[in-house]
Amino acid sequence: MDDPAPLEDFWCRARAEAPDLPEALPEAWAFGATPEHADALLELVLDGVKTGTASSLRDYEETGEPLPEAGEPSIILDGRGAPRAVIETQEVRIVPFDEVDAEHASAEGEGDRSPAYWRESHERFWRRYSESPRGFDSRMPVICERFRLVYPRPAES
């Protein structure tokens, strides 16, 4: 996103509704690797189904990006790069790919939410989109992140 104004405007609206958010504009990013995937995963977040995500530690090492931390907000973008949500990281764990548990697979909200589905879809994703030349293997370290939707406010159950 080249023009920071939409992000800044969005952040002001989010802070008006959630005044505990910090003043500083957080990192903005989209889930997935394609616009369609970003939109589908964003909808799961907005529907309250997706409360977790996973990243390859190797990709973070390759790009030099800082690891997510508990308490950190993020602006989530849609597939066009427009800001649509604010999440706050609640927990970060690093585990081998083949040890990601059923609770985390379910929190990601995709497919049937099973560990088998999670492993198949994430292996396919990292084989295709990994930024690390080391690519995928079943023991690679995975950053398992749990988060909560902060803005827009989740619908009351």
For the chain, how many structural domains are there in total?
A: 1
Q: Kindly state whether residue 156 falls inside one of the protein's structural domains.
A: no
Which pLDDT score, from 0 to 100, does residue 102 have? Answer: 98
- The pLDDT value given to residue 137: 94
Whether residue 57 is contained in a domain is answered as yes
| pLDDT per 10-residue tile (average), the chain, 157 residues | 81 95 96 96 97 97 96 97 97 98 98 97 96 94 98 70
Range of the domain at 138: 5-151
Instruction: At 61, list the tokens.
Output: 């090492």
pLDDT score recorded for residue 156: 54
| Contact indicator for 23, 72 with CB cutoff of 8 Å | no
- Amino acid found at 34: T
**Reduced to 3 states, what is the DSSP secondary structure of residue 117?**
helix
Q: What is the pLDDT of residue 154?
A: 65
The whole-number pLDDT of residue 2 equals 60
pLDDT of residue 157: 44
Q: What is the CATH number of the domain that holds 32?
A: 3.10.400.10
Whether 139 is covered by a domain: the verdict is yes
- 115 in any annotated domain: yes
Radius of gyration (C-alpha) of the chain in whole angstroms: 15
Q: How far is CA 21 from CA 17, 78, 141, in A?
A: 9, 21, 30
Q: Is residue 157 part of a domain?
A: no
